[in-house]
A and B are shown apart, each in its own frame.
Chain A
């Protein structure tokens, strides 16, 4: 039953594809996570300002990007935006080409999707800050921005780190959907390899192993960060 044949792995073309695919997956996951993080931080900060129109805008943003499948968003950015006119003229050939590459479309889509989730995570972090802490900062004469940067953000980000770990792990796995818009990541090459070799089980097992290793490494790193940043005694009931 377990008659696994990995002889195709000796082919340098397939080796190159697997390495390039893995690197693209990592690149896409980390870049989109970083952007999501920034969007989340600033979105949550904006929400604390209590400006009605800004609140409504962020609410709408979160609802739209959290409640639509990233796959749909990618297809929308990739096919629809270029069709409705988001194009540039290539100076070398004079041909009108779409402005956004496949990678850019996937990056934007994953960043906005992750960003919407991050806003929610950060907001819950800020909401759980004890009122006494912000009041203390105010009475010490901190300005709004100083209070956010020195008191609220450091505490809130620690509180919501576990939620961020979840978002990043999901982000990592969602990159596989970018193969649909031709981003040459791990699943894209895996599909081509098993179509060529008919070694579906072998390819899938290898790809599974690569994803598990990468995501485990990521969550291990996040746990380390969590531990390193933890305030002694804060938020831990021993």
Chain B
């Protein structure tokens, strides 16, 4: 325990000294007593508006937790709604201190910002199909007809890599109708959405036949070389994981419990054990 505290204290001191030359968000945030967070307000379950018009969600709760860790129990948060196209600009111009807005980790983004620990692994597409379906691998889908949604980012990959014959609709209700009409053997779409569908009574006869072929890690966005702040945020995320907070928030916002989050919780617990 003693060594842990020492390590933290010394790393903090070291970080403070180093970051004097760079952006020092940690010191700024501490002096103003508020953490300004860029969040989504139209993307359940990560960030959405509740009945009272307040922004809530998985990443909003994570942001509030990080603020308390950084600033103590009196720490305040300011939530700034952002969209995919402006969130990095908002961060780098200093309008927000941190992005917690379904930010996927990509090499292009890593050139302009830093990422925190990868706290969520967002699934790509999976396949919803009748329970009687016998396929279980993407490689078995060659030449088969699947329903989809026009404009989905993975359509090209499904056609190109797996030889799937996609029948793409404008909206989800049409695709669901077509699946029930057997116009396609399955519906290839965002895994989280499809998993929620299987819980509906109307869809009891359907299952997730094939799991996503890829997961995209999701992380907080932090200004480049803002080392002290990044380390403090990482520490807070790790603590939240070890306390099982992320699993709790999954339940609060009706998300299916992801293996990735459970595993990270175990790892964090082991890591923080004295």
Chain A interface residues (CB < 8 Å from chain B)? 13, 79, 82-83, 95-98, 102, 179-180, 182, 188, 191-192, 195-196
Contacts and interface: CB of A to CB of B under 8 A. Distances in A.
Given A13-B160, A188-B150, A195-B151, A182 B168 contact: yes
Nearest to A182: B167
A180 B168 CA distance: 9
A195 B153 contact: yes
A195 B149 CA distance: 11
Interface of B: 150-153, 155-156, 159-160, 167-170, 174, 177-178, 181-183
A47 B182 CA distance: 41
Given A97-B182, A102-B167, 7 more contacts: A79-B177, A79-B178, A98-B181, A182-B167, A188-B150, A192-B155, A195-B150
A95 B177 contact: no
A79 B147 CA distance: 14
A13 B159 contact: yes
B151 A98 contact: no
A102 B145 CA distance: 13
Contacts of A180: 170
10 contacts: A13-B156, A13-B159, A83-B181, A98-B181, A98-B183, A182-B178, A188-B150, A188-B168, A192-B150, A192-B151
Nearest to B152: A195
A182 B169 CA distance: 6
Contacts of B152: 195
B159 A191 contact: no
Nearest to B171: A180
A81 to B, nearest CB: 10
Contacts of A82: 181, 183
Nearest to A97: B182
Contacts of B155: 192, 196
Contact of A95 (B160, B167, B182): B182
Q: What are the nearest 10 A-B pairs in CB distance?
A: A195-B151, A182-B167, A97-B182, A82-B181, A191-B150, A95-B182, A98-B181, A196-B156, A13-B160, A192-B155
A188 B174 CA distance: 15
Contacts of A188: 150, 168
Nearest to A98: B181
A97 B151 contact: no
B113 to A, nearest CB: 20
B153 A96 contact: no
Of A13, A179, A192, most buried by chain B (CB within 10 Å of CB) is A192
Contacts of A83: 181
Nearest to B151: A195
A203 to B, nearest CB: 12
A13 B158 CA distance: 12
Contacts of B181: 79, 82-83, 97-98
A102 B160 CA distance: 22
Contacts of B182: 95-98
Of A83, A96, A196, most buried by chain B (CB within 10 Å of CB) is A196
A182 to B, nearest CB: 5
A96 B174 CA distance: 19
Of A13, A96, A97, A182, most buried by chain B (CB within 10 Å of CB) is A182
A173 B156 CA distance: 26
A13 B159 CA distance: 9
Nearest to B150: A191
Contacts of A182: 167-169, 178
B177 to A, nearest CB: 6
B114 to A, nearest CB: 25
A19 to B, nearest CB: 15
A177 B150 CA distance: 14
Contacts of A98: 181-183
B10 to A, nearest CB: 47
B177 A196 contact: no
A96 B170 CA distance: 24
Nearest to A13: B160
Contacts of A179: 150
A206 B241 CA distance: 50
A192 B168 contact: yes
Contacts of A102: 167, 183
Contacts of B151: 191-192, 195
